[in-house]
Amino acid sequence: QVQLVESGGGLVQPGGSLRLSCAASGLTFSSYAMGWFRQAPGKEREFAAAITGSGTNTDYSNSVKGRFTISRDNAKNTLYLQMNSLKPEDTAVYYCTAGSLKEWIRAGRSTYWGRGTQVTVSS
């Protein structure tokens, strides 16, 4: 049974940083591209970042590019999202996802999803 479990969310002030983690089990982690989506209250879920199975290539939405960094540790079966210069509009539930290709993840064609972790940016 595949499980993706997010952690690291919380309350942070504008301009602050957080690092999200996603622990994966039940799958050959390095064989999957991984990604992060987010869903703000009253809005649709949107793509944030994706990374290839090897970790060589990454992709970001325009709204997070330059502020967020996606990475992975295949030895630990763990995905990360380092979020810097956080803004109130980054407030959302952040979801970890796994799929066959980075491009498919960006297109919303993931295979597996976590349950999400709440990030709130507020003073």
**Chain segment 53-101, per-residue pLDDT in tens:** 999 999 999 999 999 999 999 999 999 999 999 999 999 999 999 999 9
- Comparing CA positions, the residue from 60, 72, 68 lying closest to residue 121 is 68
Q: How far apart, in whole angstroms, are the C-alpha atoms of residue 17 and residue 38?
A: 16
Looking up tokens 């990374």 gives 51
**Chain segment 4-25, per-residue pLDDT in tens:** 999 999 999 999 999 999 999 9
Looking up tokens 């060589």 gives 56
| Average pLDDT score over residue span 13-39 | 98
Q: In this predicted structure, what is the pLDDT of residue 108?
A: 86
Q: In this predicted structure, what is the pLDDT of residue 31?
A: 97
Q: In this predicted structure, what is the pLDDT of residue 18?
A: 98
Q: In this predicted structure, what is the pLDDT of residue 52?
A: 97
Q: In this predicted structure, what is the pLDDT of residue 6?
A: 98
41-45, 89-93, 107-111, range with the lowest pLDDT: 107-111
**Chain segment 47-57, per-residue pLDDT in tens:** 999 999 999 99
What b/e string do you get for 55-74 counting C-beta neighbours within 10 Å, with b at 16 or more? beebbbbeebeeebbbebee
Q: Which two tokens stand for residue 75?
A: 């030895």
3-state secondary structure of 97: strand
